[in-house]
Amino acid sequence: MAGLALSLENKVALITGGSRGIGAATVRLFRQARARVVFSYLQASAQADALASEGGGPDQCVALQQELRTPAHGHTLVSSAVLAFGRLDVLVVNHGIWVAQDAPIAEMAETQWRSTLQVNLDSVFGLVQAAVAQMDRQAPDASGVTGHIVLVSSTAGQRGEANHADYAVTKGAIISLTKSLSSELA
């Protein structure tokens, strides 16, 4: 890669679900753009430790193990990110769960439904709420912006997903939340 035109120098980013897949690629991209990065993970501690080390270690890239099921968990993660680097400029909400086994709506367990909504929505509410409050307390950058929020969704939120209604509902809600926030926070 010849280089990245994007510069995030002196910015702090929090990326949820950052230890693997899209999240890990996002962590790498933000580090390449020179942002200091805090990322969360739940279980992939070996991958998280390796990625944090690859990203420059504790002065540049910090991995935090954090369950994300409740608004309080989201608030805790934002507070921990701010504690690590003193501010928050970018929140990328990437975490989520998708149960691999098909579950027709007539057979889906209520526990699966509730669990998916908790991880994919309830924690997002807490993350966004805490991030917006933190960003509002910070001085704006040269362009007058106090922060950026990126919510990762899925095509399942647009077209649905047979036998995975729990997941599709949450991703549709993320799309609606994004639209609401774009009007409210613009």
Domain assignment present for 172: yes
pLDDT, position 87: 97
Tokens of 112: 């699966």
pLDDT, position 1: 45
List CB contacts of 128: < 8 A, sequence separation 6 or more: 74, 91, 93, 149, 151, 177, 181
Residue 2 pLDDT more than 70? no
- What DSSP string describes the chain? ----S---TT-EEEETT-SSHHHHHHHHHHHHTT-EEEEEESS-HHHHHHHHHHTTGGGTEEEEE---SSHHHHHHHHHHHHHHHS---EEEE------SS---TTT--HHHHHHHHIIIIIHHHHHHHHHHHHHHHSPP-TTS---EEEE---THHHH--TT-HHHHHHHHHHHHHHHHHHHHH-
CA distance 60 to 53: 9
CA distance 94 to 149: 11
Domain assignment present for 4: no
Residues 150/91, Cβ–Cβ less than 8 Å: yes
Instruction: Report the mean per-residue pLDDT for the chain.
Output: 95
How many domains does the structure of the chain reveal?
A: 1
Q: Which residues are catalytic?
A: 167
Q: What is the pLDDT of residues 95-120, one digit of tens each?
A: 999 999 999 999 999 999 999 999 99
Domain assignment present for 7: no
Tokens of 128: 């966004």
Q: What is the pLDDT of residues 23-64, one digit of tens each?
A: 999 999 999 999 999 999 999 999 999 999 999 999 999 999
Domain assignment present for 52: yes
Domain assignment present for 124: no
pLDDT, position 28: 98
Q: Which residue has the tokens 């501010």?
A: 87
Residue 24: CATH number of its domain: 3.40.50.720
Domain assignment present for 1: no
Q: What is the pLDDT of residues 122-143, one digit of tens each?
A: 999 999 999 999 999 998 888 8
- Going by C-alpha positions, the residue among 110, 116, 90 that lies closest to residue 174 is 116
- Domain assignment of residue 27, given as a range: 12-117+129-185
pLDDT, position 4: 61
Domain assignment present for 107: yes
Total Cβ atoms within 10 A of residue 2: 4
Domain assignment present for 174: yes
Is the sign of the CA dihedral 70, 71, 74, 75 positive or negative? negative
